[in-house]
């Protein structure tokens, strides 16, 4: 079975356009990519709303929160993989 080669340039471009899509294209870190996509959608859809937490619009606040979860989970997963754990 031949392994399908993925374009690093396309993966980078996709992640610049919509963060997380490049990960889904490559097929690696898909959970991380999905959370980044959700975070981006939250920011795009509700980032301009009038509801706010302090001076920060609620959409941007939620987007930031989801991003923190994504980065935390990815760091946890990478550390486990580095240690040979599944």
Q: What token pair was written down for 70?
A: 């994504």
**Mean pLDDT calculated for residue range 68-81:** 82
Q: What token pair was written down for 56?
A: 């920060």
Q: What share of the chain is helix, strand, coil (3-state, %, to 5)?
A: 65, 5, 30
Output Rg (C-alpha) for the chain, integer angstroms. Answer: 16
Please state, in angstroms and rounded to a whole number, the distance separating the CA atoms of residues 36 and 19: 6
The whole-model pTM stands at 0.71
pLDDT at 44: 77
Task: Note the pLDDT tens digit of each residue in 22-74.
Answer: 889 988 889 989 998 998 888 777 756 666 666 677 777 888 888 888 888 88
Query: Which residues, in sequence order, are bridge partners of residue 52?
Result: 57
pLDDT at 37: 92
């Amino acid at each position: 079975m031949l392994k399908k080669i993925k374009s690093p340039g396309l993966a980078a471009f996709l992640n610049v356009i919509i963060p997380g899509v490049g990960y889904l294209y490559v097929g690696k870190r898909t959970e991380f990519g999905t959370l980044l996509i959700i975070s981006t959608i939250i920011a795009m859809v509700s980032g301009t709303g009038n509801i706010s937490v302090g001076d920060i619009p609620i959409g941007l606040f939620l987007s930031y929160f989801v991003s923190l979860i994504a980065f935390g989970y990815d760091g946890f997963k990478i550390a486990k993989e580095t240690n040979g754990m599944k």
